[in-house]
Chains A and B, each alone.
Chain A
């Protein structure tokens, strides 16, 4: 707990500065890879053969990306391992590379992160050519409407500043964590793959995790919830909202925390759903709950998440709506909303 508190302070002070630095820092374009094929993901980009040492993984609570199909990979440097001693704060070795591919009927973009020698992350996006022969480096400001999602909504490639908005706490990696890769997978998680080739057990076997607490393998991490539906809701909010709505983030003044954090034994994740404003959630009334209302619109001035989506996540809206309507108990005094 102490470590988390200390990090919270550092995060609060450091991340706006990092964000501003990322906005202002001039990057020498000649130092950047111009094609995805230069980043080490593929042994053969034409045949889409993944390179040796690159490991595929599937988080159990994926981010909603307007219905895009996603694939993810990680490669650690030779002999490197993730420092996993704190289940809430994995630290990645210099040289770590991650990729996330987005498809809408065909490959559209692949996002790429690489940890540099100074400990910072380089985050780039590559947009696939129409024939999918390779993907080209996108401009720093991103690209609007490079494709259309299922109902014709535009699909945007994010700017590098937008990347930094979400990848802002801890070591800046999302979706590759003790909870997301737990062997105890949530069957009700919206849009999740049924299986994950890189569970904690498998990553440990491969030697890619260092100092993972033993109880994470004996009792795989899961969100401590009163009902299966609540477990899925809290997991969804953790991923889709919790990277910004954190107790130690810039949005802390809003008084709404939607993260999930490990409990004392680090295998049970406690609900981070806390609010000090009755407008956020009205038990029994989703349409009077600001959280649900924000999820239900894609008007830019009102929508949540505020970026990287133009389509409402209907499945999640139904799940969260049912939870507010049927599971939450009306009371004036509650600040954490549990059935």
Chain B
């Protein structure tokens, strides 16, 4: 009988310990994933295009208050310069967030978790499918150049999940990026 009580007490203690440790472990795992995501986002240069540049005292510098929020909505771009036939093909804005090429004009997306203008409503399934297929939300319009989704698609499921978790951990920046502009006829 005492053995049974002892066994039951031990079991309860183990369950209690596990229940106390589990959130800690999950939190640590999550932090680790977010860190992994931050590492990948920084190493892959996502901010080079998704964070607008502004002119600082030492030249162009990333506008950290708009980190990863894409092309600024209030920056309405004039028509892109028309290039003469020849080897020049692509033009970009000083912010590095608007690009003109044979595909028309594309604007870098808001990757912050803002509900209405960013990826706040996206699920991991949306993000992974988008990076694998090159389609908005994983099933919609084609993601345009210069977004190198083909390269990102080579990442593992875990790495894509880490990137998504990091992006979701960032402060939301409300910024409705303009729709792409079709190529000139």
Hey, which bits of chain A sit against chain B, CB under 8 A?
A: 12-13, 16, 19-20, 23, 161, 165, 168, 244, 249-251, 253-255, 297, 299-304, 306
Distance in angstroms between the alpha carbons of A253 and B140 in the assembled complex: 12
Distance in angstroms between the alpha carbons of A253 and B137 in the assembled complex: 8
Among residues of B, the one whose C-beta sits closest to the C-beta of A165 is B139
Q: Is the CB of B139 within 8 A of A249?
A: yes
Distance in angstroms between the alpha carbons of A110 and B121 in the assembled complex: 38
Q: Is the CB of A19 within 8 A of B104?
A: no
Q: Is the CB of A16 within 8 A of B121?
A: no
Residues from 131 to 179 in B contacting A, C-beta threshold 8 Å: 132-133, 135, 137-142, 144, 179
Distance in angstroms between the alpha carbons of A254 and B122 in the assembled complex: 9
Q: Is the CB of A306 within 8 A of B142?
A: yes
| Chain A nearest Cβ from B90, distance in angstroms | 16
In the complex with contacts A13-B125, A250-B138, A302-B133 CB distance below 8 A: no
Q: Is the CB of B182 within 8 A of A161?
A: no
Among residues of B, the one whose C-beta sits closest to the C-beta of A293 is B179
Q: Is the CB of A23 within 8 A of B133?
A: yes
Distance in angstroms between the alpha carbons of A297 and B181 in the assembled complex: 12
Cβ of B29 within 8 Å of any chain A Cβ, yes or no, is no
Q: Is the CB of B141 within 8 A of A301?
A: yes
Kindly identify which residue among B121, B128, B135 contacts A253, using a CB–CB cutoff of 8 Å.
Answer: B121
A-B contact pairs, 23 of them (CB 8 A): A16-B125, A16-B128, A20-B128, A23-B133, A161-B133, A165-B133, A165-B135, A165-B139, A168-B139, A250-B125, A250-B126, A250-B138, A250-B139, A251-B137, A251-B140, A253-B137, A254-B137, A254-B140, A300-B142, A301-B142, A301-B179, A302-B141, A302-B179
Distance in angstroms between the alpha carbons of A13 and B125 in the assembled complex: 8
Residues of B within 8 A of A19 (CB): 129, 132-133, 138
Hey, which bits of chain B sit against chain A, CB under 8 A?
A: 103-104, 106, 121-123, 125-126, 128-129, 132-133, 135, 137-142, 144, 179-180, 182-183
Residues of B within 8 A of A20 (CB): 128-129, 132
Distance in angstroms between the alpha carbons of A43 and B137 in the assembled complex: 43
Residues of A within 8 A of B135 (CB): 165, 306
Distance in angstroms between the alpha carbons of A302 and B104 in the assembled complex: 11
Distance in angstroms between the alpha carbons of A255 and B142 in the assembled complex: 19
Among residues of A, the one whose C-beta sits closest to the C-beta of B182 is A299
Distance in angstroms between the alpha carbons of A249 and B137 in the assembled complex: 10
Q: Is the CB of A301 within 8 A of B103?
A: yes
Kindly identify which residue among A12, A165, A304 contacts B125, using a CB–CB cutoff of 8 Å.
Answer: A12
In the complex with contacts A19-B129, A299-B104, A250-B137 CB distance below 8 A: yes
Among residues of A, the one whose C-beta sits closest to the C-beta of B144 is A301
Residues of B within 8 A of A249 (CB): 139
Q: A253-B123, A301-B180 are in contact. List 7 more A-B contacts (CB 8 A).
A: A20-B132, A244-B139, A299-B104, A300-B142, A301-B142, A302-B179, A306-B135
| Chain A nearest Cβ from B163, distance in angstroms | 16
Residues of B within 8 A of A168 (CB): 139
Distance in angstroms between the alpha carbons of A165 and B139 in the assembled complex: 6
Among residues of B, the one whose C-beta sits closest to the C-beta of A277 is B116
Distance in angstroms between the alpha carbons of A51 and B31 in the assembled complex: 61
Distance in angstroms between the alpha carbons of A231 and B125 in the assembled complex: 33
Distance in angstroms between the alpha carbons of A12 and B129 in the assembled complex: 12
A13, A303, A304, A306 interface centre (most CB from chain B within 10 Å): A306
Kindly identify which residue among A13, A244, A253, A255 contacts B122, using a CB–CB cutoff of 8 Å.
Answer: A253
In the complex with contacts A19-B133, A23-B133, A301-B106, A306-B140 CB distance below 8 A: yes
Distance in angstroms between the alpha carbons of A167 and B81 in the assembled complex: 42
Among residues of B, the one whose C-beta sits closest to the C-beta of A253 is B121
Q: Is the CB of B182 within 8 A of A16?
A: no
Distance in angstroms between the alpha carbons of A12 and B125 in the assembled complex: 8
Among residues of B, the one whose C-beta sits closest to the C-beta of A255 is B121
Q: Is the CB of A253 within 8 A of B125?
A: no
Residues of A within 8 A of B126 (CB): 250, 253
Residues of B within 8 A of A255 (CB): 121
Distance in angstroms between the alpha carbons of A301 and B141 in the assembled complex: 6
Residues of B within 8 A of A13 (CB): 125
| Chain B nearest Cβ from A252, distance in angstroms | 8
Distance in angstroms between the alpha carbons of A23 and B140 in the assembled complex: 16
Residues of A within 8 A of B183 (CB): 299
Distance in angstroms between the alpha carbons of A12 and B124 in the assembled complex: 11
In the complex with contacts A301-B180, A302-B179, A251-B128 CB distance below 8 A: no
Residues of B within 8 A of A250 (CB): 125-126, 129, 137-139
B126, B128, B140, B179 interface centre (most CB from chain A within 10 Å): B140
| Chain B nearest Cβ from A324, distance in angstroms | 19
Among residues of B, the one whose C-beta sits closest to the C-beta of A299 is B182
Distance in angstroms between the alpha carbons of A16 and B138 in the assembled complex: 8
| Chain B nearest Cβ from A62, distance in angstroms | 21
Kindly identify which residue among B103, B133, B139, B144 contacts A251, using a CB–CB cutoff of 8 Å.
Answer: B139
